[in-house]
Amino acid sequence: MSSHVSDESARSWTAATRRQLERRLPWENLLPDRQPLWVGSWVYVFGVVTIAALVWVILSGTILALFGPQWWHLSRAGRFFNSLHFWSVQVFFVFMVLHLWGQYFMASWREGRAPTWMVGVVTFAVSIVAAFTGYLSQQNFDAQWIAVNAKDAVNSTGVGGFFNVLNFGQMYGLHVMLLPIGITLLVVLHIMQVRMKGVVPPLEENGKPTARQRKLNGK
């Protein structure tokens, strides 16, 4: 009987997933309290600031969605949260691009980290669509101006039939529901991938340690 259960467990996708996670993402990787010495650089802070900005984007966006356009245009508190949402998006994009530059120049796709890089690229692309639908959801003349101009660009790509920038309900629904969920899931996946593979080590100069690595090693 017990061997029968064991056979079933061996074929179960739940058990296979559990074994994969136990092997590739042990607790000490998921929640590490130590990092390699090279992580002690401001360049590694860019990604964390991007995540912090995303938290502010989601919190301020949730409040805006709760109270609605009249509130965010006419009341003092609404204007404050509208600005908070706008500026946290600016910080999110600025630091995401700085994070991209940092990872590009240290070739962070090395040593099996290409999927991590690609998920980052997809997150960037989805974030641009989220920001675009956000500009269309402002409920002001700026949003109308952007929508009327963008419709020609979007229609020229052939996706205008199911992505209608003049349809406020569709743009607002995408902006407050599907795209934030997508970005959050992608960011969680991105962090899990970094936790699985570890932070990429610094580049070497023609196979030799860099000046920074020699300094860190005390040589």
Report if residue 34 touches other proteins, rule: CB under 8 A: yes
Q: Which of residues 191-210 bind other proteins (CB under 8 A)?
A: none
* CB burial readout 96-113, b (16+ within 10 A) else e: bebbbebbeebebbeeeb
Residue 124's alpha-carbon distances to 55, 97, 209, in angstroms, are 16, 9, 32
Report if residue 43 touches other proteins, rule: CB under 8 A: yes
Q: Which of 1, 2, 23, 33 is close enough to bind other proteins by CB under 8 A?
A: 33
Question: How many amino acids of this chain bind other proteins (CB under 8 A)?
Answer: 21
Tokens of 192: 């899990």
Q: Please state, as a whole number, how many other Cβ atoms lie within 10 Å of the Cβ of residue 141.
A: 8
Report if residue 39 touches other proteins, rule: CB under 8 A: yes
Q: Closer CB to other proteins, residue 31 or residue 66?
A: 31
Q: Which of 158, 161, 207, 218 is close enough to bind other proteins by CB under 8 A?
A: 218
Select from 98, 16, 104, 8 the least CA-distant residue to 53.
98
Contact mark string toward other proteins, 74..103, x via CB under 8 A: --------------------x--xx--xx-
Q: Which of residues 112-171 bind other proteins (CB under 8 A)?
A: none
Report if residue 32 touches other proteins, rule: CB under 8 A: yes
Q: Which of 45, 51, 122, 191 is close enough to bind other proteins by CB under 8 A?
A: 45
Segment contacting other proteins by CB under 8 A, of 34-42, 113-121, 167-175, 201-209:
34-42
Long-range CB contacts (within 8 A, 24+) of 169-175: 171/133, 171/136, 171/137, 171/147, 172/133, 172/136, 172/137, 174/129, 174/130, 174/133, 175/130, 175/133, 175/134, 175/136, 175/137
Q: Which residues make up the interface to other proteins (CB under 8 A)? A: 32-37, 39-43, 45-46, 94, 97-98, 101-102, 215-216, 218
